[in-house]
Amino acid sequence: MTKTIVVLGAGAMGSAMCTPLTQAGWETRLWGTWLDDHLIDACEAGQPHPRTNVPLAVGTKMYRSGQLDEALDGADAVILSVASQGVPKVTEMALQGISKSKVLLLTSKGFCPDDDGKIQLLPDAIRRIAAANSVELPPIVAVAGPCKANEVADGKPTATIYGSLDRSVAEQMAKQISTDAYCIQPTDDEIGVEVCAPMKNVYAIALGLADGLEAGTGFPHHNLKAATFAQAVREMSELSKALGADPVTAYGLAGVGDLEVTGLSGRNKVYGLRIGRGEPAVEALEAMIAAEQTVEGVPAAGLAKLLVEQFGQGLAASLPLLAAVQRVIAGEENPKEIVQAAVLPAKLI
């Protein structure tokens, strides 16, 4: 019997996921939020999706924001694929439908403060929201890894990682969603996957900065970019370990893999590039927002700082690149020197 899966969020990744899902035999429903009407309009008109420039997978059923209950009716699985800032609201709206499904998958990447300002990983925030509403959730599977949405949408070879506290759930979803092109590595390290997912966006800003220095000066800064990459991976591993994850996860698909692809292209890298070639950070961000290009690494950096502060100064001292990115985002002068000081080995005296 065909199983039904509902993707909440019709942006780049939400729409892209429809390709492997339909190819894996799922009846796939794509629900767009109140911000996605123009995206649904384009897909319904037979045009390529505006964010991926790839047509929506044939057979995908589309639903608008007012049709949430209809979209969730009879769903066997749900994928939450909205921007991190929208996770709490969409979770509350969809709670009843999610509770009736067998599994909740999460491609959203970010952190979420609770009512007291404590920073949580998204799965924990979703569990908190459900508990506050006396709703029992199905198992959660964190989805991350080096997945550019346009390539997933176009069926290009992709390796991804699915993390659940119950490894058997991650394995089951890997079996049911994998295709010849979209290949899934299951793990029980939900925390590690969820730490790396937003942090690679933060660090991709610094990688983009190195590319921007080349664009602005005409001379490559590959050495600086390599040092930045290595430090970023170390810091993702350090933060993961502090939160109880396997520090090795950061050295696989969730960390190294995702950071590599995000540092090659994507909005966070482009934002860093603009700063590196000389644009003021505030102006660069405003220009990207005006073009509907969400730079999730910016809010993630601020929330990550608050998260790290929950552990005291010891952890913060081991994450100098995180602090450097925050200073760059704040618009401090000499961003090259700021990043350089965070990633190059200290001179021995």
For the ranges 201-205, 261-265, 292-296, the one whose mean pLDDT is highest: 201-205
- Intervals of CATH 3.40.50.720 along the chain: 4-188
**H/E run at residue 15:** helix 12-23
User: Whose CA is closest to 88, among 126, 133, 134, 36?
Assistant: 126
- Intervals of CATH 1.10.1040.10 along the chain: 191-343
Domain 191-343: give its CATH code: 1.10.1040.10
Confidence of residue 266 (pLDDT cuts 50, 70, 90): confident
Q: Quote helix, strand, coil % in the chain, to nearest 5.
A: 55, 15, 30
Confidence of residue 1 (pLDDT cuts 50, 70, 90): low
User: Whose CA is closest to 162, among 245, 106, 122?
Assistant: 106
The rounded percent of the chain whose pLDDT value lies above 70 is 100
Residue 295 φ/ψ, nearest 5 degrees: -105, 85
The rounded percent of the chain whose pLDDT value lies above 90 is 95
Q: What is the pLDDT of residues 121-168, one digit of tens each?
A: 999 999 999 999 999 999 999 999 999 999 999 999 999 999 999 999
> For the whole model, what pTM was predicted?
0.94
Alpha carbon 147 to its chain's center? 10
Q: What is the pLDDT of residues 81-136, one digit of tens each?
A: 999 999 999 999 999 999 999 999 999 999 999 989 999 999 999 999 999 999 99
pLDDT for the residue numbered 292: 82
- pLDDT at residue 312 above 80? no
Please state the three-class secondary structure of 142-178 as a single string: EEECCCCHHHHHCCCCEEEEEECCCHHHHHHHHHHHC
What is the CATH T-level fold of the domain 4-188, as seen in this structure?
Answer: Rossmann fold (3.40.50)
**H/E run at residue 261:** helix 258-264
pLDDT for the residue numbered 349: 82
- pLDDT at residue 313 above 80? no
The single-letter DSSP state of residue 349 is -
